[in-house]
């Protein structure tokens, strides 16, 4: 295991850490964690959920202490596991509503199955879940421990999943900026202030928010003390199961109202004709087919029409859009079709996810996680250059920085969609936004393999390979 | 309230007991009566008000049964 590197986010539990070596993903376990692993790997639920894909595929490998890196605290590992690699790592602040709800539901389903076999989990954070396309997978194998009293992950479940979902479902406030603002999520006391008046009566608020926050303020004994006393009073695994079941029911019932976002009906209102749409699909399809396989990122994916097209040619597609409502619709569609080859994410491309957490290393920036083999940027450049005032050379630099070939569309100032954007800006500010200028910038950085102007004359597509 | 990662939070532990429904809340209440009461800061060292607090909690939880 030469040149192993420890995952920077994997330090909070001293008994386990993830590291990468030889292109593989490994997890070191301390002696204590190894004894929990011995127990969990012998259970029926673990084998079943791993087979079903609800738990990350994991196998034990020979612990080679000399080559495995030391733990972040300097000790050696007793046991080393190998995990299946997640194609593209994403974080809860990049997930639309239905995706976070699915993450919470699947986390609780794994907990319920574990409790049936007398196992529980140490924690309950949204970061325990990753996605293979639309399928949620529980990845924190180090979290399993024998079940005792109340589930210790409840507070984290609330902070990183339940409260964000409730805030969006009950108050209409999108949770993504809130989760991005704090790696630990929203505390009960933060959220209490958001639910005022009748909102306090909404589903699940009284117990999980109001009462929870009151108890957090009032109860001053140690957690261990409280746990012991509850267990002594008769709190057992059955009651932990009842709590998990109620939480699972609550999560399943949280829903957002129907939303009309700017982009949710873009496909119906966009400006180009059927003939243009067909020509565009043909260009994109042929361009992607010529590139072959790998991972494609579809920047400004909207309803995912071109992500679906890209998936015919690529192994994996990351569909990125800043509009939560359209990404939410796309996720629901992909989930209902059981698609595992398209990962939909909510990211404002003019303000993509930064590096967060301890030393800004715990959660990697969007640009460090998404390293595609090819980039789709259709009807995007004008939004960045005109809508977000980003200088055109910077837009091209940024597209090239992904490293792979680009399939990019330039929309002229005469196009109705570009005109609409320009109408909101003082005139004369975007005189440099011209097709000639864009082509010059592209040629400077790339070899343009093919290009085609659609029949309307205002939209041009390019397949460009960076030098 | 600043809480460490693997610390479930004592208030949250009681809250999750109550989320478990009537039986679990009963256990929480019983443990409060058995003078887990010392848990509540406002009532340290006094058995009766501690029980009051726990009763508040279970009262607060009963209307929530309807909505969860």
Q: pLDDT band at B60, cuts 50/70/90?
A: very low
Q: pLDDT band at B1, cuts 50/70/90?
A: very low
B12 and A221 within 8 Å at the Cβ level: the answer is no
Range in A250-254, A287-291, B33-37 with the lowest mean pLDDT: B33-37
Q: pLDDT band at B27, cuts 50/70/90?
A: confident
The two three-digit tokens of residue A87, written as one number: 């194609």
**pLDDT per position as a tens digit, A396-412:** 999 999 999 999 999 99
**pLDDT per position as a tens digit, A278-311:** 999 999 999 999 998 899 999 999 999 999 999 9
Residue B68 clears pLDDT 80, i.e. is over it: no
Q: Residue B4: what pLDDT?
A: 56
Q: pLDDT band at A145, cuts 50/70/90?
A: very high
Helix/strand/coil percent split, chain A, to 5: 45, 20, 40
Residue B52 clears pLDDT 50, i.e. is over it: no
Q: Residue B58: what pLDDT?
A: 37
Q: How far does the CA of residue A148 sit from the closest CA of chain B (Å)?
A: 12
Pairing label, strands A316-321, A295-299:
parallel
Q: Does the beta carbon of A198 lie under 8 angstroms from any beta carbon of chain B?
A: no
User: What is the residue whose two structure tokens read 């809480």?
Assistant: B3
**pLDDT per position as a tens digit, A302-327:** 999 999 999 999 999 999 999 999 99
Give first-to-last CA distance, chain A, whole Å: 34
Exposure letters A211-239 (e unless 16+ CB within 10 A, then b)? bbbbbbebbebebebbbbbbeebebebeb
Bigger pLDDT: B6 or A437?
A437
Exposure letters A295-313 (e unless 16+ CB within 10 A, then b)? bbbbbbbbbbbbbbbbbeb
Q: Residue B18: what pLDDT?
A: 86
ipTM of the shown complex: 0.80
Residues of B near A (Cβ–Cβ under 8 Å) read 1, 3, 5-21, 23-24, 27-28, 30-31, 34, 36, 38-42, 44, 53, 57, 60-61, 63-64, 67-68
**pLDDT per position as a tens digit, A194-214:** 999 999 999 999 999 999 999
* A210 to chain B: closest CA residue: B60
Range in A435-439, A456-460, B48-52 with the lowest mean pLDDT: B48-52
- Measure the CA–CA gap between A45 and A241, rounded to whole angstroms: 15
Q: What is the average pLDDT score of chain B? A: 58
Q: What percent of chain B has pLDDT over 90?
A: 3
Enumerate the β-bridge partners of residue A401: none
Helices (H) and strands (E) in chain A, counts: 20, 16
- Measure the CA–CA gap between A298 and A426, rounded to whole angstroms: 31
DSSP A431: T
B41 and A218 within 8 Å at the Cβ level: the answer is yes
Chain B positions touching A251 (Cβ under 8 A) are: none
pTM across the whole model: 0.90
Nearest to A229 by CA among B39, B50, B46: B39
3 state SS of A292: coil
A13 and B18 within 8 Å at the Cβ level: the answer is no
- Measure the CA–CA gap between A456 and A270, rounded to whole angstroms: 13
* A122 to chain B: closest CA residue: B6
């Amino acid at each position: 295991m030469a040149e192993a590197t420890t995952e920077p986010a994997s330090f909070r539990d001293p008994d386990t850490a993830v590291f990468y070596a030889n292109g593989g993903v490994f997890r070191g376990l301390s002696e204590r964690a190894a004894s929990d692993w011995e127990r969990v790997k012998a259970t029926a639920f673990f084998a079943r959920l791993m087979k079903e894909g609800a738990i990350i595929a994991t196998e034990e490998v020979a612990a080679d202490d000399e080559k495995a890196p030391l733990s972040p605290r300097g000790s050696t590992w007793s046991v080393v596991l190998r995990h299946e690699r997640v194609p593209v790592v994403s974080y809860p602040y990049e997930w639309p509503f239905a995706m976070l709800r699915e993450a919470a539901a699947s986390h609780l389903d794994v907990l319920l199955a574990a409790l049936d076999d007398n196992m529980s989990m140490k924690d309950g954070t949204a970061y325990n879940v990753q996605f293979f396309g639309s399928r949620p997978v529980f990845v924190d194998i180090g979290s399993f421990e024998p079940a005792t009293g109340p589930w210790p992950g409840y507070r984290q479940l609330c902070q990183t999943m339940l409260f964000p979902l409730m805030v969006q479902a009950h108050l209409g406030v999108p949770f993504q900026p809130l989760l991005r603002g704090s790696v630990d999520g929203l505390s009960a006391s933060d959220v209490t202030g958001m639910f005022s008046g009748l909102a306090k009566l909404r589903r699940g608020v009284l117990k999980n928010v109001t009462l929870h926050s009151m108890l957090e303020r009032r109860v001053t004994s140690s957690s261990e003390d409280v746990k012991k006393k509850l267990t002594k009073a008769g709190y057992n695994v059955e009651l932990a199961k009842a709590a998990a079941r109620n939480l699972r029911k609550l999560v399943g019932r949280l829903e957002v109202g129907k939303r009309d976002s700017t982009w949710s009906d873009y496909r119906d209102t966009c400006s180009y004709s059927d003939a243009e749409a067909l020509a565009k699909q043909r260009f994109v399809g042929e361009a992607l087919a010529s590139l072959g396989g790998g991972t494609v990122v579809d920047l400004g994916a909207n309803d995912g029409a071109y992500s679906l097209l890209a998936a015919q040619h690529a192994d994996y597609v990351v569909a990125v859009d800043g509009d939560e409502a359209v990404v939410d619709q796309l996720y629901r569609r992909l989930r209902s079709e059981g698609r595992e080859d398209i990962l939909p994410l909510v990211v404002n491309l003019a303000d993509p996810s930064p590096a967060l957490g301890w030393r800004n290393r715990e959660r990697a920036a969007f640009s460090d996680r998404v390293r595609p083999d090819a980039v789709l940027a259709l009807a995007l450049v004008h939004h960045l250059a005109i809508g977000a005032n980003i200088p055109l050379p910077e837009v091209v630099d940024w597209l090239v920085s992904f490293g792979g070939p680009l399939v990019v569309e330039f929309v002229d100032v005469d196009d109705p969609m570009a005109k609409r954007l320009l109408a909101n800006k003082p005139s004369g500010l975007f005189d440099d936004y011209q097709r000639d200028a864009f082509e010059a910038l592209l040629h400077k950085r790339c070899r343009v393999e093919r290009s085609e102007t659609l029949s309307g004359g205002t939209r041009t597509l390019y397949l460009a390979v960076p030098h | 309230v600043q809480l460490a990662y693997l610390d479930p939070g004592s208030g949250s532990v009681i809250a999750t007991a109550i989320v478990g429904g009537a039986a679990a809340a009963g256990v929480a209440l019983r443990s409060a009566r058995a003078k887990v009461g010392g848990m509540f800061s406002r009532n340290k060292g006094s058995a009766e008000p501690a029980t009051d607090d726990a009763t508040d909690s279970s009262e607060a939880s009963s209307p929530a049964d309807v909505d969860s």
